[in-house]
């Protein structure tokens, strides 16, 4: 039951029968919102405000001790029991398996999708995030520009890896849109969007990424996810 989760006392559920999403419209938050929109699962989004340090409250930490968004509670988890989850990649896999969508059943294609999901989780996401800190946010004021140079170089390297993959494939893991694409497009989008780093990273040099990103953003689920939670 949802009432077993202390987080619901701070963010009460209007509809306890649907998935509860605790998030913010950052790249990692957008991932899970996009997946929920793609699957058509009912969900209710609760805003976790960084400005108010919501992620550090006892209620939020009771669900995610790592104090990061997003997190979910599915009231209809395995064996019909409610389950709480955090880490965006784990949530994407869980929702894909729950609905039988956006993760191939073929073992080889499934492995390739998970491979690129892990690439995003362990490489592209953390490196792009560090780049954004030193280019756009607090780190931009640092006199020592070596950190920015380091993460700029790594971001460019990763973009090159991704563009080469997309030169030979319609989607990042092959011929079908999957959770690997959902994990990646919000991070590519933030580089030229909120970070305003398109020129700095010379993103125009990567035509295959541009083609892929345009297609991902054109999906109705993607457009909806950009504003979740409202």
Q: What is the pLDDT of residues 57-105, one digit of tens each?
A: 999 999 999 999 999 999 999 999 999 999 999 999 999 999 999 999 9
Q: What is the pLDDT of residues 179-229, one digit of tens each?
A: 999 999 999 999 999 999 999 999 999 999 999 999 999 999 999 999 999
pLDDT, position 63: 98
Residue-range domains of the chain with CATH: 2-101 (3.40.30.10), 107-223 (1.20.1050.10)
When pLDDT is cut at 50, 70 and 90, the band that residue 230 belongs to is: confident
- pTM above threshold 0.85: yes
Q: What is the pLDDT of residues 132-159, one digit of tens each?
A: 999 999 999 999 999 999 999 999 999 9
pLDDT for residue 1 is more than 90: no
Whether the upstream peptide bond of residue 70 has omega within 30° of 0, thus cis, is yes
Q: What is the pLDDT of residues 9-30, one digit of tens each?
A: 999 999 999 999 999 999 999 9
């Amino acid at each position: 039951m949802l009432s077993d989760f202390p987080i619901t006392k701070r963010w009460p559920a209007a509809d306890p029968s649907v998935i509860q999403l605790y998030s913010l419209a950052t790249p990692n938050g957008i991932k899970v919102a996009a997946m929920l929109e793609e699957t058509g699962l009912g969900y209710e989004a609760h805003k976790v405000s960084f400005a108010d340090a919501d992620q550090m409250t006892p209620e939020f930490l009771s669900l995610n001790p790592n104090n990061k968004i997003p997190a979910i509670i599915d009231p209809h988890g395995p064996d019909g029991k409610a389950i709480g989850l955090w880490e965006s990649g784990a949530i994407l896999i869980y929702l894909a398996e729950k609905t039988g969508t956006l993760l191939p059943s073929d073992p080889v294609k499934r492995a390739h999708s998970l491979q690129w999901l892990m690439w995003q989780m362990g490489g592209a996401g953390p490196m792009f995030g560090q780049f954004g800190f030193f280019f756009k946010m607090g780190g931009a004021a640092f006199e020592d520009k070596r950190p920015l140079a380091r993460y700029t170089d790594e971001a460019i390297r990763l973009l090159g890896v991704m563009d080469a993959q997309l030169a030979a494939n319609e989607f990042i893991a092959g011929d079908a849109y999957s959770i690997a694409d959902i994990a990646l497009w919000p991070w590519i989008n933030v580089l030229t969007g909120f970070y305003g780093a398109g020129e700095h990273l010379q993103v125009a040099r990567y035509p295959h990424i541009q083609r892929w990103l345009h297609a991902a953003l054109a999906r109705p689920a993607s457009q909806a996810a950009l504003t979740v939670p409202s």
